[in-house]
């Protein structure tokens, strides 16, 4: 009897050890052969078959069958959460399954800058997240999606402050907008609102002016001075006469020379024809542009024109006579270089 019990004991021990070895070799043993992290994308609506095919194409598993066995053991496979996932070197099947089942995706860096229109924004973002440019455009063109936040189709572009942000790849158009709205509201804290009020501007007006400053300035250190010129013009009741607004009005950003015929276009964005600020930003206003308006230089300049030396800097003037001399010098240089449009 003792011999039978001892034999059964050894059998149990051996079975247990075998189970441990099986568990280790199938579930807990390293099964990722990649030497560097690999990012994969699982679109919305993906099922387990899509996951298997994606892993196969990435060719990162040492043993595909062991992953399938582990998935069955952990009852994973009915639903797959979409997103972008990072497969780390040395991951086990257990870690892989836990990651996919919990939807623990890795954020992606979303970057945009130099955006002038909502269409450009949708195209740029649609190449970086799952939401495509069509769904982003449809969302942004429908004012009902954001009118309760105080924006319309002309002003909503101010929400999108150029930078690099971390978002989940599977975010949809509304989710992207809500995240950018949070960033916008975070920017407009109590201190910045106070600075805007001190300048006699609302946050919306600061965004419009900042977009013009961004277009005018090729040198960051000139932005506060240019902003000061526009603030002086607003206070004096003078038209802004900002060339970038005319380019926006005629929808031709390639213009290197604004001509009299361009100044006649009948558009609320034509600041030669209509006084005050245009009804919305002419691009996504940058942080440096916004900061330049909020911290605009206090001076007496009312005019500025690009220097003819190609440096990217401007001549600033207090009087029209002085400005006209600088402007004529710049026109002569444009003519010399045969730049007529």
Backbone CA torsion sign across 46, 48, 50, 52 = positive
What per-residue confidence (pLDDT) applies to 258? Answer: 83
Q: How many CB atoms lie within 10 A of CB 12?
A: 10
What per-residue confidence (pLDDT) applies to 309? Answer: 87
For domain 2-102, the CATH architecture is 2-Layer Sandwich (3.30)
- Is 206 within 8 Å of 184 (Cβ atoms)? no
| For the chain, domain boundaries | 2-102, 111-187, 190-336
What per-residue confidence (pLDDT) applies to 9? Answer: 41
What per-residue confidence (pLDDT) applies to 11? Answer: 46
Residue ranges in the chain modelled with pLDDT below 50:
5-21, 24
Strands (E) in 67-158, as ranges, are 83-87, 108-112
Instruction: HSE, CB side, 13 Å, CA atoms: give it for residue 274.
Output: 13
What per-residue confidence (pLDDT) applies to 16? Answer: 40
- Is 306 within 8 Å of 329 (Cβ atoms)? no
At residue 172, φ and ψ (nearest 5 deg) are -95, 180
Q: Return all residues near 340 (Cβ < 8 A) that are at least 6 apart.
A: 257, 334
Q: What angle do CA 126, 129, 135 make, to 5 degrees?
A: 45
Q: What angle do CA 302, 280, 144 make, to 5 degrees?
A: 165
Reported pTM = 0.87
What per-residue confidence (pLDDT) applies to 254? Answer: 84
Tokens for 182?
Answer: 């949070």
What per-residue confidence (pLDDT) applies to 2? Answer: 52
Q: What is the pLDDT of residues 132-151, one digit of tens each?
A: 999 999 999 999 999 999 99
Tokens for 330?
Answer: 């710049």
Residue with structure tokens 């924004």?
Answer: 121
């Amino acid at each position: 009897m003792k011999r039978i019990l001892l034999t059964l004991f050894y059998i149990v021990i051996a079975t247990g050890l075998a189970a441990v070895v099986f568990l280790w070799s199938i579930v807990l043993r390293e099964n990722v052969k990649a030497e560097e992290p690999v990012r994969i994308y699982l679109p919305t609506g993906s099922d387990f078959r899509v996951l298997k095919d994606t892993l196969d194409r990435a060719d990162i598993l040492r043993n595909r069958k062991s992953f399938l066995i582990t998935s069955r053991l952990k009852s994973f496979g009915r639903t797959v959460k979409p997103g972008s996932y990072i497969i780390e070197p040395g991951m086990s099947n257990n870690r892989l399954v836990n990651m996919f089942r919990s939807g623990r995706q890795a954020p992606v860096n979303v970057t945009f800058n130099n955006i002038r229109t909502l269409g450009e924004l949708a195209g740029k973002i649609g190449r970086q997240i799952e939401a495509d440019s069509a769904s982003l455009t449809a969302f942004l063109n429908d004012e009902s999606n954001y009118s309760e936040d105080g924006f319309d189709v002309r002003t909503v572009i101010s929400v999108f402050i150029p930078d690099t942000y971390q978002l989940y790849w599977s975010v949809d158009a509304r989710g992207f907008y809500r995240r950018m709205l949070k960033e916008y509201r975070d920017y407009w804290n109590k201190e910045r609102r106070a600075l805007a009020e001190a300048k006699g501007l609302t946050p919306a007006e600061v965004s419009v002016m900042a977009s013009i400053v961004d277009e005018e300035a090729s040198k960051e250190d000139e932005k506060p001075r240019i902003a000061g010129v526009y603030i002086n013009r607003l206070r004096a009741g003078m038209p802004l006469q900002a060339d970038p607004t005319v380019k926006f009005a005629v929808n031709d950003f390639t213009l290197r020379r604004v001509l009299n015929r361009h100044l006649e276009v009948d558009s609320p964005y034509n600041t030669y024809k209509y006084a005050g600020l245009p009804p919305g930003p002419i691009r996504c206003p940058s942080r440096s542009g916004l900061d330049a308006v909020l911290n605009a230089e206090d001076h007496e300049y009312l005019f500025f024109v690009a220097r003819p030396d190609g440096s990217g800097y401007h001549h600033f003037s207090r009087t029209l006579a002085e400005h006209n001399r600088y402007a004529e010098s710049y026109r002569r240089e444009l003519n010399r270089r045969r730049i007529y449009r």
